[in-house]
Amino acid sequence: MACTLSANNLISLFLLIMEFSYKEITRQLKDLSNVSLTRTVLISTNHVHRIRLIHWEITSIIKHISSCFAFDMLIESVTSTVRVIYFMFLILRFLTEAFYSPSKSSTFSIFQSIVFLISVVGKFVYLCYRCNRVVQEEENSLICINSLLLKARSHKDTQAVSVLSDFLEQAKVRQISFTACGLFTLNLRLVCTIFGITMTYFIVLVQFKTAAQSTKTE
């Protein structure tokens, strides 16, 4: 488990760096877009080409990270889901004991469970958040490229249009995503899905438990 958590922290660090790299690309594209273009002042195609190369390198690094740590992401996703389900089971047991046997219930135990859930599952939630942020920043850079391309077309800058069109095509083809061995994508939507499934499971357990206790009392 220590290896998985170490990989989790390492991935989060890489993702944070990639997020700021995409932010820098977006900033440079916005700076180019804010330049007042005239017939003599056109978009710097050399600058665009440099940004395009940086974008290529960043997406390559991200693809390597996603492939190298795919199994670690899968293990972390599965273990986090199991822990959430286990936590819900402890909650159910605590509520049952508190309702039917108040003397046996332990507030300290449920407090321990909450601390356990936050400390362990929180790492997975943070990982999904970082993945989500990188994808959002990549989408922002795509919007900036498209905006700059429209501006170049409006000023009939054929050289810039050609370079930006290639850049836009590259960005679309090399769109990034973080998956756990290709089974599912790591983002905040996955976190909501996991909690939604576990809450459904918890409600079903509560209903079965209530029905079982009602049968015993009768």
- Residues 91-136 pLDDT 10s: 777 766 666 555 555 555 667 667 777 777 788 888 889 999 999 9
State which residues of the chain have pLDDT below 50. Answer: 1-5, 39-41
For residues 138 and 169, what is the distance between their CA atoms, to the nearest angstrom? 14
Specify the pTM. 0.78
pLDDT value at position 166? 92
Answer whether 163's CB lies under 8 Å from 49's CB.
yes
pLDDT value at position 56? 93
pLDDT value at position 10? 82
Distance, CA of 117 to chain centre: 19
pLDDT value at position 102? 53
Tokens of 149: 């391309």
Answer whether 94's CB lies under 8 Å from 105's CB.
yes
pLDDT value at position 133? 93
pLDDT value at position 36? 60
The structure tokens 């959002």 sit at: 136
The structure tokens 């407090």 sit at: 111
Q: What is the dihedral of CA 165, 168, 173, 176, to 10 degrees?
A: 170
Q: What is the dihedral of CA 34, 40, 45, 46, to 10 degrees?
A: -100
Nearest to 171 by CA among 11, 51, 24: 51
